[in-house]
Structure 1
Amino acid sequence: RRKRIMRAIGTPFVQFLGPIILKLYSKSWRHRVTADDPEHLKALKETGGLAVLWHGRGLSMIPLFKGTRASILVSHSRDGQIMGDMLQGFGFDTIQGSSSRGGARAMREMLGVLKSGRTICFTPDGPRGPMHSMSPAVAFISRSTGFPVIPVGLGIDRAWHLNNWDRYTIPKPFSKLVSHVGEPIQVPRKVTEEEQEEWGERIRQALLRAETRAFEEVGAEPDW
């Protein structure tokens, strides 16, 4: 009962104050964007696509997407709802859905967002892991919608890591962040289930390469 009371009090507190605190905190970060090719940035910010980054970088993505028309996919869990409220405080749109709940409705919303030329941000190893795994939904969404997957790696030179499955990253004050945008990957419409799995592995490897490149650009060793 005590835990329920603390949640009832703490959740609104986090939802209201979280964005305010994070806005102030994230202003100390020194962030820049790199890409394999400048054309890759167009897919991220102009023509629309499915931007994928690892779940543990959820906080680190804020500088990259702030001020854009990005929509963030969040889970139906209590933690997902709290995160969604905080992201909305930053001006992001959110879409609620997962592979187990709200999937069909989320797919309809995502298709509408993509057709409007906006980007959807998706964490393929969330919400439960394992770390750096690839949800089959990523290749399926690209195949079904005709929009590309855009791998986004995030490198941070100084950070704390939570002791959980994704080693969630919290950049330290005044740390350097690099967002590296890899080559967009379009999954063909006519592929077998086995081929779709192979495309999923290609996307996973591309995301790992983008993450490695981001750490090279920031001048630090990968932290996983």
Structure 2
Amino acid sequence: MFRNITRSSWFQHAAGFVAAQILRVVWLTNRISYDPPDLYQQIEPRMPVIIAFWHGQHFLMPFGTRRHHRFKVLISRHRDGEINAIVVEQFGIGTVRGSGDHGSSFHRKGGVPAFKAILRHLQSGGSMAMTADVPKVSRVAGLGIIMLARESGRPIIPAAIATSRFKRLNNWDRSVIHLPFGRGVVAIGQAVTVPADADDAAMETLRVQLEASLNEVNRRAYAIVGCPDEGLHVA
């Protein structure tokens, strides 16, 4: 019975609405800084862009956008993704539904239609926000986001949001639950650009580069708020 309730549309909409309000409180009660301070002045001339971040570090990402930005976020078709989609839509951010999974499940979980939808959005001038690691493989960048950058010609911007007060869950991606009344930072790392003619070897090199850049920006963000990024130890 409980499973049926949690899968119901009314429960998911209620949970998504409540979660969005909690995130608003967390954001508004943290003293937020930006690293670098001219973060938006660096990003906006390059838009549309692909904002990349790690799984489990995503809950405050909607607040990194501004009202005039045309962002969408990739969210899985899994039932847990329904609540996530409702949450981001509360902040005026669109969604593309599909999986970043790998292997044979890529087609089954809507990976191909999602990839095409993201390309169309980027080509229309909109930007994307998405995790760089695939489900159940934490802190290892997948090739999917590198392929997307190659096909779209848009740069990948590694990003991290950290707060000084948080709880880290003991799950596969060590999800961070941000808490109110602390310090926070929005940080970006070195952009990764993928040439249109990148071959397999170049793609792998850039995948490793993105992975390193994401780890660096997360390490730097947590250092700014005075906390270690324990998620870096997850393999």
Normalising TM by the smaller chain, what interval?
0.7 to 0.9
| Paired residue secondary structure (1:55) | coil
The residue that corresponds to 1:42 in the other structure is: 42
The residue that corresponds to 1:193 in the other structure is: 200
Distance in 2, matches of 1:18 and 1:39, equals: 27
| Paired residue secondary structure (1:210) | helix
| Paired residue secondary structure (1:57) | coil
The residue that corresponds to 1:157 in the other structure is: 164
Map 1:29-108; keep pairs closer than 5 Å.
Answer: 29-35=30-36, 38=38, 41-43=41-43, 47-65=47-65, 67=67, 68-99=69-100, 100=106, 101-108=109-116
Distance in 2, matches of 1:93 and 1:131, equals: 25
Measured at CA, do residues 83 and 157 of structure 1 come closer, stay the same or move farther in structure 2, by a change above 3 Å? Answer: same
Report whether the alignment pairs 1:111 with 2:84.
Answer: no
| Paired residue secondary structure (2:33) | strand
Give the root-mean-square deviation of aligned CA atoms.
Answer: 2.3
Any stretches of 5+ residues in structure 2 without a counterpart? Answer: 101-105
Report whether the alignment pairs 1:206 with 2:205.
Answer: no
Distance in 2, matches of 1:2 and 1:153, equals: 35
Normalising to structure 1: TM-score of the pair?
0.88
Distance in 2, matches of 1:154 and 1:25, equals: 12
Conserved? CA contact 1:136–1:200, under 8 Å: yes
How many residue pairs match? The answer is 222
Q: Deviations over 1:22-50 (max 9, x none)?
A: 32343212222213x84775335762111
Distance in 2, matches of 1:221 and 1:41, equals: 28
Q: Which amino acid aligns with 1:90?
A: F
Distance in 2, matches of 1:45 and 1:174, equals: 33
Conserved? CA contact 2:25–2:180, under 8 Å: no
Any stretches of 5+ residues in structure 1 without a counterpart? Answer: none
Conserved? CA contact 1:40–1:182, under 8 Å: no
The residue that corresponds to 1:10 in the other structure is: 11
Distance in 2, matches of 1:115 and 1:192, equals: 22
Normalising to structure 2: TM-score of the pair?
0.84
| Paired residue secondary structure (1:122) | strand
Measured at CA, do residues 20 and 153 of structure 1 come closer, stay the same or move farther in structure 2, by a change above 3 Å? Answer: closer
